[in-house]
Structure 1
Amino acid sequence: MSSFIRGTVVLMVAVFLSKLLGFVFRIQFMRIAGEEAVGIYMTAYPAFIFFLSLVQLGVPIAIAKVIAELDAKGQSVQLPAVMKTATFITILTSAVFIPASILFVPYLSETLLGNAASSTTLYVGIAIVPVAAIGGLIRGYFQGIARIEETAWSQIIEQFVRIILITWLLPSLLMNGNTAMNAAYAMGITLLAELFSLLYLLFKYQQRKRRVPKEQQVKRYPMEPLLAIALPSSGSRLFGTFTWFLEPIIFLRALAMSGVTAVAATSLYGIISGVLIPLLLFPSFIPYALSVVLVPAVSGAAASTNKAKLRERIHLSLRLSALTGAFAAAVFYVHGQALAEKLFHVTEGASFMTLLAPIFFFYYIQSPLYSILQATGEAKAGMMNSVYGGIAKLGVMFILASQPGLQVTGAVLAIGFGVLITSFLHIATLRKNKATATGFTMFAMPYASFIMTAIMRPIFIPIGDFGLLMECTITTAFLLIILILTGQVKASDFLLFKKLVKIH
């Protein structure tokens, strides 16, 4: 168990650093460019990710799997051939989908998004696609040979370059009254950051490639094994990116029907997707790390039919995720609006933090639940749960956001509804598996502790008497005391943490 926990902690640190840098970028972007430019950027970004998914077509995942198998068999001489075949497939998909994406932009920006100002940003986003696609191939290679360091460093380099350019380059490029170009410049900065990341990956890849003598390298690797893995695995990713691609379209169209102008709706979407959601998801590096480590850990315990170890690992990961959700929900419910206004300098929309915080408690348990379903042979059910949640979110968003009396509040409620549907379906699916001994009661007390904190904290210690950082610390301490009193946090947890920080 100790190796499982230590591996999780190491991954948490790496993901935390990457998220922190991305968070700094968002803060700088909002402060420098303003709400409307961020809104245009955020409505274009899901389209860029969808276009990228079409070009990649699941090939990076296939590379990782095929290379891992060849490396395990000692057939490393075939690795360069695998990369050549994967590159050829990506060139073919790029030749088909990139021109199609360029032709689709006018209709997407003017008709679907209802905001022609987003077209320039979309064109710049398409220019990133081939760069990001090549980077994805090399990341797949390094994942296959179990070299996560290169991937982690490439992401950190990308974030550092984005922060440097957004802080010192973007202010000199900004054009007063031309938010469309300002958003396009920001997307251009993303392009430059991707290029720096790609250069690093290419350098590290060439270093690895030189270890295999040219005379020993296999000239060709067949397409069939790669496509056999890539095409099925691309289905769920394409659906996920497609629903995200549809989100700003439905958001803007529904608000237009309720009487909100395109400019105002774009700004509000930028605040929700570029400020509120990232702020709410910032602590999710803990459940994310757990979800990555869980698949092999739970799979191993399930394969050995060790039910005690299986339950121990599942319960520990879900308890840690639920506690993370309780702390995040408490802090963001009580102080979320103040945090959004202080960090991002937003003028409206920050009050929705109070509405979203109680719901996003369930987001924190979502990724570990999905990983457990994957590890226990319920991957298809887990994927369908996500599909149902995505469809429900979009449907409810269109219905509620188009109502003149609800507008943006309806869209925010729909986002929360999607989170609840997916999370509850995951719990219900896992509950059927008697070996895991998991149900809704595991999350009841942490959630009840959050509710008690939200009610009692302002009564016992009035809010506003201290600085924002101290206010958040007091709320965190208040919740910790309640969790200790209710037995959700035990003395053994502190002893476990003490062991983890020691160097072995």
Structure 2
Amino acid sequence: MNKFLKGTLLLVVAAFIGECLEFLINMILARELGEEGLGLFMSILPSIILLVVLTTLELPISISKFIAEKDKSYHQSMLRHTIVFTLLLTIGFVILASLILPMIPMFDKFHPFTRWLLVLLIPIATFSAIAKGYFMGAQHMGKIAFASFLRKAAQLAILVVIFQIFEFELETAILIAICSLIGSEFVVLLYVVTMFVLQMKTIKTHSKGSISGKKVREQLLAVSIPTTGVRIFHAVTFAIKPFLIKAALLQAGLTEAVAMAQYGKLAGVAFTIGFFPAFIAHSLLIVLIPTVSEAYAKKDFFRLQSLLRKVMLFTCVYGFPAVFVFYYFAEPLTSLFFENSPAIAYLKLLCPYFLFHFFVIPMQAYLIGLGLVKDAFLHSVWSTLISFTLMFVLGSMEQLQMEGIIIGMNMGAVLLTMMHYLTICKKIGLSPKLLPVIKHEKRNVL
């Protein structure tokens, strides 16, 4: 079995198990925290994710791309400079977080220790990023897959043990839930760092070359900064979307309570069901970044073209059956959450949105591997602006309401996919029909 397929299957299996464990984790949290506590815990999760994005600067992606492109003789030198660079970044972010987090009023709703737990998360996340980035770049996907499983398993074990033995007030129970999240990241850190240290012994035997720290920092930041910008942009637009939808529905004549209830069915039910298969797309993304980076660094366009065809075919194989199930089994699927819910219609109308996102995620990995991160960012900006405009204009119409909003969302997903696809095809010499524009010599195919 070739390395690409084996790595993809490992990550898909690990991600599926992780999704199942996540379901159990949410069941425990719902039982122990109650509706109010679960709402508070979920409200702080976006802040935790944003903190990790900002402090790691998407180092796993930039490191994996660097490792995949460079000869093994340069790996030790590159990693040594990366560790020093990350240490300096970590110190800076810890100081900033220690000064800024106590000033944010949102955390007043939580236990006083919460702020310092988030500060503790910074070094855990940044140093994990180095090891994960190396294993991704070296295509040791078994370690990445096990780390993904270990994080969910550790969080589940912590929650089960602590909540079985002790009982807590709501504020302390939420703190324990946050501790389980950060504790699981610490367990992953211990694993990946241990594997990384053992791997360094092998790296030393191949390391004869040297590279300057300045060049390492420049190449890492050339990928990290725009990729972080994309993630932040997505986080910001994700936060704006509920308010945009609410404003459009109010304009269409709905009351505030009805508007929020409809958005709750859209996000809490339709999105939960529709994005479940996306763990396959995210597994492809992790494997594709180093694979595409390595092939592009070698100018192996035949391999890039062959790989794109395989990725598109693989996405079709699981994507079309998934949306078929969503459309024809919308009622039993949504009834797992609510009976006779308007989410039935929402799930059916959103089928194009989900399908095109299954294609977009691996194509983002392609753009990163081809050095087109700036293009990915611009595509996201343009598609979001057009999508948001249509969502508000169509959603404000009394005869469309939520259906108009979904039309706008579908249009944004289609537009983003087409821009990504055409840019990739142009870069690697393929026509939109996936036929070579320029035939390249066949090399070592997957």
The 5-angstrom pairing of residues 116-131 of structure 1 reads 123=115, 128-131=121-124
- Normalising to structure 1: TM-score of the pair? 0.66
Tell me, yes or no, if the aligned pair for 2:136 and 2:287 is still in contact at 8 Å.
Answer: no
The 5-angstrom pairing of residues 21-170 of structure 1 reads 21-26=21-26, 28-30=28-30, 33=33, 37-64=37-64, 72-73=72-73, 76=76, 79-80=79-80, 82-103=82-103, 105-106=104-105, 109=106, 123=115, 128-143=121-136, 146-167=139-160, 169-170=162-163
Pick one of 146, 163, 186 that aligns with 1:195.
Answer: 186
The total of aligned residue pairs comes to 421
Query: Which residue number corresponds to residue 458 of structure 1?
Result: none
Tell me, yes or no, if the aligned pair for 1:341 and 1:347 is still in contact at 8 Å.
Answer: yes
Query: Which residue number corresponds to residue 242 of structure 2?
Result: 251
Tell me, yes or no, if the aligned pair for 1:166 and 1:186 is still in contact at 8 Å.
Answer: yes
The 5-angstrom pairing of residues 301-320 of structure 1 reads 303-304=299-300, 306=302, 311-320=305-314
Q: 1:339 to 1:166 in 2, by over 3 A?
A: farther
Which stretch of the first structure deviates more once superposed, 162-171 or 133-142? 162-171
Instruction: Please report how far the alpha carbon of residue 321 of structure 1 lies from its aligned counterpart in structure 2 after TM superposition.
Output: 0.9
Q: Distance in 2 between matches of 1:434 and 1:209?
A: 34
Q: 1:195 to 1:340 in 2, by over 3 A?
A: farther
Query: Which residue number corresponds to residue 440 of structure 2?
Result: none
Instruction: Please report how far the alpha carbon of residue 197 of structure 1 lies from its aligned counterpart in structure 2 after TM superposition.
Output: 1.8
Identical-pair percentage: 22
Instruction: Please report how far the alpha carbon of residue 183 of structure 1 lies from its aligned counterpart in structure 2 after TM superposition.
Output: 5.1
Query: Which residue number corresponds to residue 236 of structure 1?
Result: 227
Instruction: Please report how far the alpha carbon of residue 119 of structure 1 lies from its aligned counterpart in structure 2 after TM superposition.
Output: 9.3
Instruction: Please report how far the alpha carbon of residue 300 of structure 1 lies from its aligned counterpart in structure 2 after TM superposition.
Output: 3.7
Tell me, yes or no, if the aligned pair for 1:18 and 1:156 is still in contact at 8 Å.
Answer: yes
Deviations 1:455-481 (A, max 9, x none): xxxxxxxxxxxxxxxxxxxxxxxxxxx
Deviations 1:2-58 (A, max 9, x none): 665455434433443334433443455456645554444344322222222222234
Query: Which amino acid in the other structure matches residue 432 of structure 2?
Result: T
Q: SS where residue 303 of structure 1 aligns?
A: coil
Q: SS where residue 356 of structure 2 aligns?
A: coil
Deviations 1:119-142 (A, max 9, x none): 989846565344323322332344
Q: 1:232 to 1:6 in 2, by over 3 A?
A: closer
Q: Distance in 2 between matches of 1:249 and 1:122?
A: 25
Q: 1:84 to 1:369 in 2, by over 3 A?
A: closer
Q: Distance in 1 between matches of 2:427 and 2:193?
A: 45
2:275 maps to 1:281: yes
Instruction: Please report how far the alpha carbon of residue 181 of structure 1 lies from its aligned counterpart in structure 2 after TM superposition.
Output: 6.7
Q: SS where residue 282 of structure 1 aligns?
A: coil
Instruction: Please report how far the alpha carbon of residue 366 of structure 1 lies from its aligned counterpart in structure 2 after TM superposition.
Output: 1.4
Q: Distance in 1 between matches of 2:243 and 2:13?
A: 37
Q: 1:75 to 1:5 in 2, by over 3 A?
A: closer
- Normalising to structure 2: TM-score of the pair? 0.73
2:348 maps to 1:354: yes
Instruction: Please report how far the alpha carbon of residue 329 of structure 1 lies from its aligned counterpart in structure 2 after TM superposition.
Output: 0.6
The 5-angstrom pairing of residues 85-484 of structure 1 reads 85-103=85-103, 105-106=104-105, 109=106, 123=115, 128-143=121-136, 146-167=139-160, 169-170=162-163, 173=167, 185-208=176-199, 224-233=214-223, 234-252=225-243, 255=246, 258=250, 259-260=255-256, 265=260, 276-294=270-288, 296=291, 300=295, 303-304=299-300, 306=302, 311-342=305-336, 350-351=343-344, 352-374=346-368, 378-393=372-387, 415-430=409-424, 435-439=429-433
Deviations 1:292-349 (A, max 9, x none): 555636974993454xx6554433321221232211111122324533543x679967
Query: Which residue number corresponds to residue 452 of structure 1?
Result: none
Tell me, yes or no, if the aligned pair for 1:66 and 1:144 is still in contact at 8 Å.
Answer: yes
Q: SS where residue 436 of structure 1 aligns?
A: coil
Instruction: Please report how far the alpha carbon of residue 363 of structure 1 lies from its aligned counterpart in structure 2 after TM superposition.
Output: 1.3
The 5-angstrom pairing of residues 481-496 of structure 1 reads none
Segments of structure 1 that go 5 or more residues without pairing to the other structure are: 111-115, 441-504
Query: Which amino acid in the other structure matches residue 13 of structure 2?
Result: V
RMSD: 4.7
Deviations 1:146-187 (A, max 9, x none): 544333322211101222344554576565xx6x77655433
Q: Distance in 2 between matches of 1:121 and 1:389?
A: 40
Query: Which residue number corresponds to residue 484 of structure 1?
Result: none
